[in-house]
Amino acid sequence: MSPDAVEKVFRDESGRALATLIRLIGDFDLAEDALQDAFAAALATWRQTELPANPRAWLVNVGRNKAIDRIRRQIAFRDKEPQIVRAIELDAADDDVAERADLDDDMLRLIYTCCHPSFAPEVQVALTLRTVCGLTTAEIARAFLVGEDAMSQRLVRAKQKIRLAGIPYQVPGREALDERLRGVLAVIYLVFTEGYLATSGAEPMRDDLAREAIRLGRLLVGLMPEARDIKGLLALMLLHDARRAGRATASGDIVLLEEQDRSSWNREQIAEGLALVDQALSMRGLPQPYTVQAAIAALHARAPSHQDTDWRQIVGLYEVLLRIAPSPVIELNHAAAIAMVDGPARALALVEALAARGGLKQYDLLPAVRADLLRRLGRHEEARAAYRVASEATQLVPLKRLYARRLAELDAAS
């Protein structure tokens, strides 16, 4: 079995394997070390054999045993070694530990632990991106616009707090569910967003993360079926993910929405998402941000073509979003929709005002939107400069290729 195949297993299984190891071992750092040991063993073992029927079960079992070995070697654990080891062994008495039904909730337990209210929101998100998404500390630091050392210290302190304060690794009771729900939803959506369009690397999408976020959304709907915004979030993720097959070529180049083959979209998933949108909108109460975003995605899903999309209604929904959940990213999306209704000149004025305020200084899609508007207005030299800025700002290789194609088209047009 090739190292590339092992790497694929790592991408597909590491998040849920880590979540299970954290539950079994009770320590974030030790579980991460155990998972690394398990993958090192997999590289050595699977090279000579076929892939196990259940790679995650194999990794959990090997990782558990590696953790026990580590505990026995560490002097600091000597006094507590017997009870710690015994607890891990009892919890994992079945060799098929990763097959047990309750393990499907391990990732949700991990997210609720990371989203404990004693953590600041940015720490909740950073810790979840590290443990659930498997992003590197450097990638998370870039997302938060801080230095890698500073982010590393935040993560270390958070893990220490979980251990020293005895924060339970569990889905909390009904009273605490509501308290943590906003953070949990934000984190699940960030997991999905990283899967929908990766922040860096050679592949435009990480299907494993998108699938995992959708699975977690389904779990939450089962836990709290009366929560309107959970249904809205699940609908939003389903409707976006339904376009996956049309969003990239076989060679990994990004295909923009206006160029996608809509016959490739997953109609079964769209139908499920549309039904959830209707349910969320029919529930009592004020509109919630994820539900409004899902309503926008529903208009895209229902439209037979890009040109036939109800852009006026989309503009109106973005204006609702700006009232209930204002953010620079929503402003940018609103401007892009305005371009389809009132033309690129008015949209460019909105984007220029947004850029002048500096709220999206490190956001590579801002110069990309600006470049597209300039291109449509025939201001090719300014568009070239904006595409170069966008290319320098992104760490995602397919986006760099997209901007290079746009630059080549401008050169040809000149």
DSSP string for 301-368: HH-SSSTTS-HHHHHHHHHHHHHHS--HHHHHHHHHHHHHHH-HHHHHHHHHHHHHHTTTTT-THHHH
Name 281's Cβ contacts closer than 8 Å, sequence gap at least 6: 287, 291, 295
Separation CA 290–CA 170 (nearest Å): 25
- pLDDT tens per residue, range 279-309: 999 988 887 899 999 999 999 999 999 999 9
Helix (H, G, I), strand (E, B) or coil at 394: coil
Name 69's Cβ contacts closer than 8 Å, sequence gap at least 6: none
* Residue 81: predicted pLDDT: 56
Residue 186 structure tokens:
């934000």
Ranges in the chain, pLDDT < 50: 93-104
In one-letter notation, the amino acid at residue 270 is I
**Do the beta carbons of residue 290 and residue 255 sit within 8 Å?**
no
The 8-class DSSP code of residue 292 comes to H
**pTM recorded for the entire structure:** 0.77
What percent helix, strand, coil does the chain show, rounded to 5? Answer: 75, 0, 25
Separation CA 145–CA 122 (nearest Å): 12
The tally of CA atoms less than 13 A away on the side-chain side of residue 12 is 10
Helix (H, G, I), strand (E, B) or coil at 145: coil
Longest dimension (CA), the chain: 75
Separation CA 33–CA 63 (nearest Å): 8
**Could you identify the residue written with the tokens 């597209």?**
372
Separation CA 91–CA 114 (nearest Å): 22
**Do the beta carbons of residue 330 and residue 322 sit within 8 Å?**
yes
Q: Residue 213: which of 198, 191, 232 has the closest Cα?
A: 191
**Do the beta carbons of residue 368 and residue 403 sit within 8 Å?**
yes
Separation CA 334–CA 246 (nearest Å): 23
Helix (H, G, I), strand (E, B) or coil at 201: strand
The tally of CA atoms less than 13 A away on the side-chain side of residue 406 is 32
The CATH topology of domain 322-414 is 1.25.40
* Residue 389: predicted pLDDT: 95
The tally of CA atoms less than 13 A away on the side-chain side of residue 287 is 20
Bridge-based pairing of strands 395-396 and 200-201 is: parallel
Question: What integer best gives the mean pLDDT of the chain?
Answer: 86
CB-based burial of residue 95 (10 Å sphere; 0-12 exposed, 13-18 middle, 19+ buried)?
exposed
Q: Residue 133: which of 52, 12, 214 has the closest Cα?
A: 12
The 8-class DSSP code of residue 51 comes to P
- Which string of b and e fits 109-128 if b means at least 16 CB within 10 Å? bbbbbbbbeebeeebbbbbb
Residue 333 structure tokens:
């999306």
* Residue 87: predicted pLDDT: 57
Helix (H, G, I), strand (E, B) or coil at 16: helix
* Residue 100: predicted pLDDT: 42
